[in-house]
Structure 1
Amino acid sequence: MADARLGTASRHSAVRPATASGRSGIGTRLPAGRRADAGPRTGRPVFREGALPPAAWPGLVGRRAECERLGGLVAAVAAGRSQVLVVRGEAGIGKTALLRFLVHRAAGCRVARASGVESELEMAFAGLHQLCHPFLDRLPALPGPQREALATAFGLRPGDPPDRFLVGLAVLTLLSEVAEERSLVCVVDDVQWLDQASVQTLEFVARRLVAEPVGMVLAARGAGDGPPFAGVPQLVVGPLADEDAAALLRSAVPGALDPRVRDRVLAECRGNPLALLELHRGASAAELAFGGDGGAPGSSLVSRLEQGFADQLHALPRASRQLLLVAAADPVGDVRLLQRAAARLGIGADAVSAAEASGLVELGDRVRFRHPLVRSAVRSAAPREELRQVHRALAEVTDPGSDPDRRAWHRAQATVGTDEAVAADLERSAGRALAQGGLAATAAFLERAALLTPDPARRVQRALDAAQATVVAGAFEDASALLATARAGPLGEAGRARAELLEAQMRSATSRDEDALPLLLAAARRLEPLDADLARDTYLDALSSALSAGRATGPDVREVARVVREAPPPHAPRSGDLLLEALAVLVTDGYAAAAPVSRQAVQAFLREEPTLAEALRLTPLAASTAVSLWDDAGWDALTRRHVTVARESGAVGALPLALGQRLLVPLLAGDLAAARALVLQVRSVEELTGGRTSLALHGEAAVAAHRGCGERDERVVDEAVEAVEAVAAADAAGFPPAGAGRPGRGGDTGATTVQWARAVLCNGLGRYADAVSAAREATAGPLRHGPSSWALAELVEAGARSGDTATAAAALETLSAVAGASGTEWVLGVTASRRALLRGGRAAEELHREAVDRLAGTRVQVELARARLLYGEWLRREGRRIDARVQLRTAYEALAAMGAEAFAERARRELQATGETVRRRAVETSAELTAQETQVARLAARGHTNSEIATALYISPRTVEWHLRKVFGKLGITTRRDLWRSPLGADRVPT
């Protein structure tokens, strides 16, 4: 556990000379003006750090550059600038010493501290609670949703799993509010041992510190051992230089060293300060002179350090060792809890004195070990039975009302063999962990519960439950091990089917969808006689997976569709059953036959209130079905619901897909800036969760295509096309390219979206031959889902304009069949607009008018403006310049206001051809604003408060204020009313 306190006096053990070092590398501090080998009898400097005035801080041997950087960070925070830094290095390299130096330099700031503890890795939000605990009295001042999310995460109130992003925003707001009074420095040690929920939240906050006087410094082991924190500034702490290592060794070892021994020790320690201080601590002069064994061959430095601490333990009285074991077994560091457990074990006060005198532990306001390796050394050195006794004592003194989960965990560690009562306690703890959003903790509790369950069948059930939680958490190696445990017991048919389903879900999440498809189908077939509803759900997953991967015409899928259609209907049909039927009919009989049941499924989802599981799993498919029907109202409602459910339930993994589907709604409504804002949110969420950014790439291509702003947007679309072509090539070769999104998250569906976007871009730019090529790619599949269907309209326009009337006519025939089956105003309007391109005379005009009339009642305002553009172009070619101006002027103003520059330029040129002079309009007065500034400005222009904007964009209110100051300066305005009057305040469709 990190020890960042100052003012700790060195102590001397009665058994052997003690170090003044404290934690890793602390002993590398040398008092100003003293030689490295100066000091008392031990040859080590002994002083109270807190007694030194700031100007006299002696620094650390060989760490001048690191100290200067940390000092600069504190100065920047004190000046009101946000700072974030990750300090990395191997165990014992001196990270904690640097953090103590940082805390000393931050004497004028408020300091908040936390540290990771290995035994708390599975306890959701445990590390975050350490950091925020001093400020929890400020919870009532947070906005309601943030307050509730953070209180639920910390177990202060019951509730559903909190939205991880609301938790992150709550922490950001909390720290920002604290920093308003005095600059705040957050110091987090041993980040590699923090629970995943805390790490994700800290990374979220670190990336959003912009205008707050908050510094965040996180210490972790090397990149391979700790969280990546990609893109966050890093300070890598390396080994000491030879001269500095020698100086530190002289300060640590009493008496003179033979040069050959010194050289051997330096070589063994490889510049690691803790090794230099600890590996040879307590060795006699003879041992040092003759060299000792130098450690077991091949043993790691960490294991040797741990063994060195274990050697120091052996010299302590048994009661003191037992006291240290109690402290090591309880990760909370609660001194009062330690006292109660010690009293129950009969450990006297003299044991405390000896333990503290050893320098291995400090018992102040909290229990602090000199180094995390001391804790692991204490636990490793203890006999198993003694460790169980300690856990039993801790369980007995832990309050079951205020901390039932930690009590259950201690009871589990104290149990030999099996115990159903303890297993049931752990199962209840798993339920509470799930309610707090701690999937890793849920799985850990269930896994331990399974091991303690005496009944074999119940043990299998709990192992499967643990595996399921682990799959959802994304820890697939652990899930595989749990599945192996389950399969070792009496699974039964239901258990085997469930195990197969979990195996398929893991394969689907970690591989290509077609690899998972056979497993999903096998699991569904096994489930049919056992659980008809779960079997149908699994068939739906299989068909949905095949559809998104472009595999819905394969023989396996056709067989599944046939089985589904021939199976007896469910006794009480659910909305998911209607979706399954719609997909099955689509595969076997085509779009027209599937349209009626597809409409029923969409309407069922709109009417009903699905469960959380149904909403997360099925809403994306229902929204996709609405898109295939060209149902703009249903699509709007379902994507809005999906985003809301994903946010409020804390289903972070579902949020990128929800936002990715949603962003096309404002895009086609003509709000390109809102769509771009959602693209940024998708990218941000995917980066925070460690996911791939294919959804953001596809969405960005769609926005760029509709904007059509010169080479910049062409480059965005071209890069997206290259990316999906690379996926397709690798897919054909049988393996995914590095960094590519798997098909279920952007494979065939993503390729269709990108090619549709390219067709839109080329039509806007008047490059109709290129548009034909892209639209053909997008419409190559037999199914008509979303962009594949939309691309038919692009193909008709491109073919008609390029003179390829045969291609245009064939595409129009297919589009007309879709329109006849769907019958929505959206698709009928678009079809009428494109059919007019292949007609002449009165028939063409009637079709153009029909298109405008139909599209005027829909949300797809981009298509309305384009229909007016096509009508105006036709009128001008007919020689009706006055009539043409009306349509072209309306189209131009609408497209320019939307930011659809390429289509707006087409309309402007046509207007000029009618004889009307039209200036090229600046599409957005916010062209010089950054994407983040644009988002803030648009929301402010719509009347949202800083707090509301902060919540929507996952930033702090202070950062909102900072962005608005920059916006006002760039736009030359002074008030929000001026912002409301600007183009940024235009009435838009909300997202």
Structure 2
Amino acid sequence: MGHRDADGVDGAGVVVGRDNEVRQVRKVLAEARHGRGGALLVQGEPGIGKTTLLAAATAAPAGMQLVALSGFEAESQLPFAAVQRLVIPLREFLPALPPRHLRALEVASGAAAGPPPDRFLIGLGVLGLLAAAGAVRPVACVVDDAHLLDPESLDVLGFVARRLEAEAAAVVLAARAGAGLEQQLAGVPQLPLSGLALEPAVRLLTQSMNEPIDPAVAAQIAVATGGNPLALTDLAGELTVRQLTESSLGDEPFPVGRRLEAFYVRQVRALDPAGQVWLLVAAADATGDHDLIAEAAAKLGLPDAAAEGAEEAGLVELRATVRFRHPLVRSAAYNAPVGRERRRVHRALAEVAESMGLSDRAAWHAAKATLGTDEAVAQRVEQAADRAGERGGFASRASVLTQAAALTPPGGDRYRRLVAAAEAALAAGTSQLAKDLLDDVDEDDLDDLTRGRMLALRAQWALFTADPALRHTGADLLEAADLFEGHDDELEQKTLLLAWELALPAERLATGMSWQHLGRRMAQAAQRRPGPPAVLLEALSAHLLLPFEQAVPALRRAAEVLADLPPEEMLLYGHCSAALCSALWDEQLRRLCLERWAQAARDAGSLQQLDTALWVQSLYEITLGNPRGATDFIEQVRELRRAIGYEAEHVINVALLAWTGVPRAQVQAMAQATYDTGFGGVHSSAVRGLAAIELADSRFESAYDLLVPFYEEPFFHTSPIGYPDLIEAAVRSGRRAQAEAVLELLQARAEACGTPWIVGATARSRALLSRGAAAEKHFQEAIEVSTVEAELGRAHLLYGEWLRRARRRREAREQLQKASQLFTRVGAEAFRGRAQRELEAMGEATAAPDPAEGPALTAQEATVARLAAAGRTNAEIAATMFLSSNTVDYHLRKVFSKLGISSRRQLHDRLQP
């Protein structure tokens, strides 16, 4: 007969009843050995055998370096604590990382000072580290008790697990089921671990008994415990066959989970008093730090031999660190004593940790030792939260500040700390926690600065969650800016810029404020403190208050300042570039600024900022009539969402749908949904998209009806972009006087801006209202000036139509063919169809554009291929898609194989028509 060795392991060291699960874990490791990285999350209830499964399946993996980690509660509020432990055995590969990734890891681990790094930038660093290590020897990163990791490390590991593809590395995690890890580990393949089947459960119980047991009784016990291996092995070791037989005849199930913990409580209480207190010290610290535990035990007057009884009872193992037999044993040791005794132990641990220079752990223990409120302890905990924030640990900062607030006597300081905790929670992406914290704040006890921060935070929460309160965010931020006035000039300026940023998506739906008042407040705040924010405020104030022609110099000055901002400032103010450059009709400067904004976010690992920047770029490309470019950016947004574990298929650019053939009724329904939510800007973009398709299909009356509201009730820089389409719709539907009135406005803007985009669009529009040689002259001017491909295509199209009606068939054919080629290049199929119909009317044979031949590319392969075709290097593509260079190379090789090509030049020719 075998003997009990570990949960679910027989005397031969074989995991009982887990053959399939062991194979699944080993398959992940085997794939990694062959350069196909992957991950697996093992989940199950306490005692189900997760630790045993990991140990058996990953023991000395052939040809691999094993990096093993475990979660500890005492480290759960020390940001990136687990990442730091992961990096240590792989530190020889750190020089292979890009400097910004290396710097992020150093700051996160406390080895260097610097701006707090984004957790996803650290994720890219860890991904690169595993890739570099795997290139020398495959790596298996095995993480037990993942639910006890600090949230930042868990985010990093989830990010890495989702991005492993062509690396010789694997990540295997084990966590307690129901521990709330759904978001952080979303997208990671899961292996649910349930109880053993009847036959292996009986075999395990029988092998674990010191005397024979009736098979029928063993089967009843197996059923009663749900096949939980820990329950089976521990009960077998502690109860006699007679006790088990008697228990099996009752209706009460065997102890599992909480009841199994009660079973261990009885074992703890069987120790002598000194042994129980020592076990409490070890349980209270949780990290297993032998020196800290020993000094705290000595401080409490415990004899050196106090630990021996716990070890002899099989509750702990004393090695380099103190390890509990199972988390339930630790829980029992911690919960068995009364609260007063736990606080006494934490107080001793706090004093020893402080003497050892472990300030954060000392603050944590001091908080646990405090009953009620204590401002001095609250200050220590707040300082620990500040240190977490300096390392980029916003989730930990939120959690620690919440503790600090709970320790703070009622009043302003308590609510100030709650507001700060909510700020950190939103920065970490935990929007519901941020809202819950704000709901606990008593506004009457806040000073002006804290109340302003709270209002600003609520406004950002509305945008983050797409809450209908988005309509009121501009008004809330104006109020916040008023509260900052006279207290913090820099914060006042930033808040007014944020008011513009968050009110802009609502457009006309914004409530509780006037745009003129916002403009006046911007002008006032711009005078208080020089610098880029002041320049931007002056420009936006002019945009809101002055006639367009008078506002252009300030707009131009601000746009040029934006284009030259360093990356760290571009992160703060890049969002302004879309509005400023759109107002100037400067597509080249707008593209430059938006690309610099996105790159700054990418380099900083600020994926929330990058998500916004890519989304704005998608909207920008569709306003230029470039569905292909808009699709590229939407795919990048989706790739980003996949990287951070969000649902990617819900990312929709409604205007793009209109351009790509989605039925009008469906687009209208989606546009209305965005309108109802408060996103008036998205709704306007969708309506303009629908109008463009109506023009392409020669439904001019319908296009006019969709576009004329933008003329009758214009909204600053967004409505005039639709004026060229409105002029075409008005001319073609017999509304010449209306077209001339709109052209007059467009001409004034063109004279003030002088950029190729608006000059070309104006010339094209004027041609529609001209006759004979004058019309031809304006068409030719539009073709000569236009630099936007879709705009150039529209000029060729209209000129070709004019030439055909003038019966100049050869020239018309040339213009229409150029238009068709340009529309094919940008993916504007509706307008290509209009050009093709004109060609067919002249008797020209036409054909659909020749798509890339060969097997279809996956979404990820297509994105890699498009970026490579555009001239991006593997490293640049990797940074764009949050992959390793190995994975990019792997996808490119697959793309080349599928398309039957062998070079990037051929790829460019295939994908850049």
Residue in structure 2 matched with residue 829 of structure 1 by the alignment: 760
Partner residue in 2 for 1:793? 724
Residue in 1 aligned with 2:194? 238
Q: What residue is the counterpart of 2:446 in the other structure?
A: 491
Matched, 1:686 2:638: no
Whether 2:279 is the aligned partner of 1:318: answer no
**Closer, same or farther: CA 458–726 of 1 in aligned 2, 3 Å:** closer
Task: Report the equivalent of 1:850.
Answer: 781
- Would you say the 8 A contact 2:619–2:653 is kept in 1? no
Q: How does 1:830-909 map to 2 (within 5 A)?
A: 830-856=761-787, 860-885=788-813, 887-904=815-832, 906-907=834-835
What amino acid sits opposite 1:353 in the alignment?
E
Q: How does 1:80-119 map to 2 (within 5 A)?
A: 80-104=35-59, 106-119=61-74
1:438 is displaced (CA, Å) by 0.9
- Structure 1 residues 496 and 181: CA distance shift in structure 2, 3 A: closer
Counterpart residue type for residue 681 of structure 2: T
- Equivalence for 2:16: 60
The CA distance in 2 between the partners of 1:400 and 1:179, in whole Å, is: 40
The aligned amino acid for 2:514 is V
User: Matches of 2:738 and 2:356 in 1, distance apart?
Assistant: 73
Number of the residue aligned with 2:682: 750
Partners of 2:556 and 2:650 in 1: how far apart?
26
Is 1:952 aligned to residue 883 of structure 2?
A: no
Kept in 1: contact 2:526–2:538 (CA 8 A): no
1:812–1:835 contact (8 Å) kept in structure 2: yes
Give the match's secondary structure for 1:210. Answer: coil
1:968 paired with 2:896, answer yes
Q: Residues of 2 paired with 1:75 and 1:85: CA distance?
A: 13
Letter in 2 for 1:954: F
- TM-score (norm. length: structure 2): 0.85
Question: How far is 1:611 from its partner?
Answer: 6.7
Indicate the residue corresponding to 1:379 in structure 2. Answer: 334
Number of residue pairs the alignment of both structures matches: 909
Q: Does 1:29 align with 2:16?
A: no
* Residue-by-residue CA offset, 1:74-122 (whole Å, 9 max, x unaligned): 4444444333322233333333332223214844533322233334333
Partner of 2:505: 548
Query: What is aligned with 2:514?
Result: 557
Alpha-carbon distance between aligned partners in 1 of 2:155 and 2:651, rounded to the nearest angstrom: 20
Pick one of 113, 117, 120 that aligns with 1:162.
117
Partner residue in 2 for 1:42: none
1:175 and 2:130 are equivalent in the alignment = yes
In structure 2, distance between residues paired with 1:588 and 1:221: 58
CA–CA distance in 2 between the matches of 1:331 and 1:776?
68
Assess, with a 3 A threshold, how the Cα gap between structure 1 residues 133 and 426 changes in structure 2: closer, same or farther. Answer: same
**CA pair 107-48 structure 1, distance change in 2 beyond 3 A:** farther
Structure 2, unmatched stretches of 5+, are none
Distance between the aligned counterparts of 2:715 and 2:311, measured in 1? 73
Mark the CA change 1:574 to 1:696 in structure 2 (over 3 Å): closer, same or farther. Answer: farther
For the residue of structure 2 that corresponds to 1:697, the secondary structure is: coil
Q: Which deviates the most, 687-696 or 835-844?
A: 687-696
Change (3 A) 1:390 1:939: same
1:208 deviates by 2.1
* Amino acid corresponding to residue 139 of structure 2 in structure 1: L
Partner of 2:671: 724
Q: Return closer, same or farther for 1:411/1:231 CA change in 2, 3 Å cut-off.
A: closer
Question: In the aligned structure 2, how far is the partner of 1:927 from the partner of 1:255?
Answer: 64
1:187 deviates by 2.3
Who is 1:714 aligned against?
661
Contact 1:369 1:375 in 2 (8 A): yes
1:16 — aligned with what? none
**Correspondence list, 1:971-982, <5 A:** 971-976=899-904, 978-979=906-907, 982=909
- Three-state SS of the structure 1 residue aligned to 2:681 is helix
Deviation at 1:845, TM superposition (A): 1.7
> Shift in Å at residue 135 of structure 1?
1.0
- State which of 134, 143, 147 in structure 1 corresponds to 2:102: 147
Contact in 2 for aligned 1:561/1:588 (Cα 8 Å): no
Q: Cα deviations across residues 10-50 of structure 1 (Å, max 9, x unaligned)?
A: 9xxxxxxxx9464xxx2x334xxxxxxxxxxxxxxxx363x
Q: In the alignment, is residue 330 of structure 1 matched against residue 330 of structure 2?
A: no
Secondary structure in 2 matching 1:550: helix
Gap change, CA 1:100 and 1:568, over 3 Å in 2? closer
What is the letter of the counterpart of residue 70 of structure 2?
A: S
How far apart are the structure 2 equivalents of 1:485 and 1:720?
41
Give the direction of change, closer, same or farther, for the CA distance of 1:324–1:808 in structure 2 (3 Å limit).
farther
Q: For each residue in 1:730-754, what CA deviation from the matched residue of structure 2 results, as whole angstroms up to 9, or x when unmatched?
A: x3xxxxxxxxxx64xxx22222223
Query: What's the CA shift for 1:524?
Result: 4.6
For residues 492-535 of structure 1, give each alpha carbon's deviation from its aligned partner in whole angstroms, at most 9, with x where no partner exists.
44444444444454455442213556654554555556556655
Counterparts of 1:369-448 in structure 2 under 5 Å?
369-384=324-339, 386-395=341-350, 398=353, 404-414=359-369, 426-448=381-403
Q: Does the residue aligned with 1:867 lie in a helix, a strand or coil?
A: helix
Shift, 1:969, TM fit: 1.9
Question: What is the rounded CA distance, in whole Å, between the counterparts of 1:401 and 1:618 in structure 2?
Answer: 43
Distance 1:300 1:599, change over 3 A: farther
The one-letter code sitting in structure 1 at the alignment partner of 2:727 is V
Distance 1:332 1:340 in 2: 14
Greater Cα offset, 303-312 or 507-516? 507-516
The alignment partner of 1:216 has SS state of: strand
> Mean alpha-carbon deviation: is it higher for 804-813 or for 105-114?
804-813
Question: Aligned partners of 2:450, 2:669: CA distance in 1, in Å?
Answer: 44
Structure 1 segments unaligned to the other structure (5+ residues): 1-9, 11-18, 31-46, 50-56, 707-712, 732-741, 987-991
Give the conservation status (yes or no) of the 8 Å contact 2:472–2:512: no
The reply on whether 1:355 has 2:310 as its aligned counterpart is: yes
Deviations 1:127-180 (A, max 9, x none): 333333321221112232222222322223222222433322222222223223
Residues in 1 aligned to 2:623 and 2:506: alpha-carbon distance in whole angstroms: 24
Q: Which residue of 1 aligns with 2:606?
A: 651
The equivalences for 1:403-802 within 5 A come to 404-414=359-369, 426-450=381-405, 461-476=416-431, 478-479=433-434, 482-483=437-438, 487=442, 491-507=446-462, 509-510=464-465, 511-512=467-468, 513-514=470-471, 516=473, 519-520=476-477, 522-528=479-485, 534=491, 537-538=494-495, 541-542=498-499, 544-551=501-508, 554=511, 556-557=513-514, 560-561=517-518, 564=521, 570-572=527-529, 575-576=532-533, 598-599=555-556, 601-606=558-563, 612=569, 615-616=570-571, 618-663=573-618, 675-689=630-644, 696-698=651-653, 702=656, 713-715=660-662, 721-728=668-675, 731=676, 743=678, 747-764=679-696, 771-772=703-704, 775=707, 782-786=714-718, 788-801=719-732
Work out the CA distance in 2 between the residues paired with 1:751 and 1:780: 17
1:33 match: none
Contact between 1:848 and 1:867, CA under 8 Å: does it hold in 2? Answer: yes
Q: Which whole-Å CA distance do the structure 2 matches of 1:891 and 1:501 have between them?
A: 48
The alpha carbon displacement at 1:657 in A equals 0.6
Identity %: 38
Aligned-partner residue type, residue 678 of structure 1 = F
Which of the residues 258, 263, 269 maps onto 2:225? 269
Change (3 A) 1:474 1:848: same
How big is the alpha-carbon RMSD for the aligned residues of Structure 1 and Structure 2? 4.5
Output the CA distance in 1 between the equivalents of 2:435 and 2:652: 32
Tell me: CA distance 1:725–1:889, structure 2 relative to 1, closer, same or farther (3 Å). same
Q: Give how far 1:633 is off.
A: 3.8
Contact 2:493 2:525 in 1 (8 A): no
Asked if the contact 1:521–1:560 (Cα under 8 Å) also holds between the matched residues in 2, the reply is no
Provide the secondary structure at the position in 2 that maps to 1:844: helix
| Match 1:304 to one of 224, 239, 259 | 259
Shift of 1:847: 1.9
1:52 corresponds in structure 2 to none
AA matched with 2:685: T
